[in-house]
Amino acid sequence: MKYIVEVNAKYLVSIEAETQLGAEHKVLEYDGIWGALAFDADEMKTETFRGACLSCETISLNELKELSEDYRKAYANKAACTDAHAAADEEVRRLEEMLALAKENRAIALQNIYTANKAVAEANEAIGVREN
């Protein structure tokens, strides 16, 4: 029997199936499909069906397959982007740790320079060397 299936409240697709539930399940097998509502010949005469038609685009099953493939690719791309973002976050964290360590080492080095300059000044004073 032929059914018209509303898909994701956005598309209408014609499906051959034995039951309404079977038609809905054929559509729900595709990635990116979160909702399916099948209408038989009698239900296609109702206001509910007409209302669904107003907001939906009619597409073929092949177009639905293409949309599903596009969704799958986009989802895979999103996963790859999420992984890349996590790696970038980790690199930022590592660089921030290195910066904190470098700042700490710089402070220690400046303190050592100050101490060394003070020691040189004291030694020069002890031996009577004057700075100009």
Range of the domain at 46: 2-59
Task: Identify whether 124 is part of a domain.
Answer: no
Q: Residue 74 — pLDDT band, cuts 50, 70, 90?
A: confident
Evaluate whether residue 85 is within a structural domain: no
β pairing state of 36-39 and 2-7: antiparallel
With a pLDDT cut of 90, the percent of the chain lying above it is: 50
With respect to residue 130, please indicate whether it lies within any of the assigned structural domains. no
13 within some domain: yes
The domain total for the chain is 1
Burial string for 18-50 (b: 16+ CB within 10 Å, else e) reads eebeebbebbeebeebeebbbbeeeeeeeeebe
Residue 123 lies in a domain: no
Question: Is 91 a member of any domain?
Answer: no
Place of tokens 């685009």: 57
The token pair that represents 14 in the structure block: 């014609």
pTM of the predicted protein model: 0.57
Domain assignment present for 125: no
Kindly state whether residue 118 falls inside one of the protein's structural domains: no
Question: How confident is the model at residue 128, as a pLDDT?
Answer: 83
Measuring CA to CA, how many Å separate 33 from each of 9, 18, 80, 94?
10, 21, 21, 40
In our burial notation (b when 16+ CB lie closer than 10 A, e otherwise), range 65-101 reads eebbeeeeeeeeeeeeeeeeeeeeeeeeeeeeeeeee
- Highest mean pLDDT range out of 31-35, 41-45, 51-55, 115-119? 115-119
* Band (15; pLDDT cuts 50, 70, 90): very high
**1, two tokens:** 């029997």
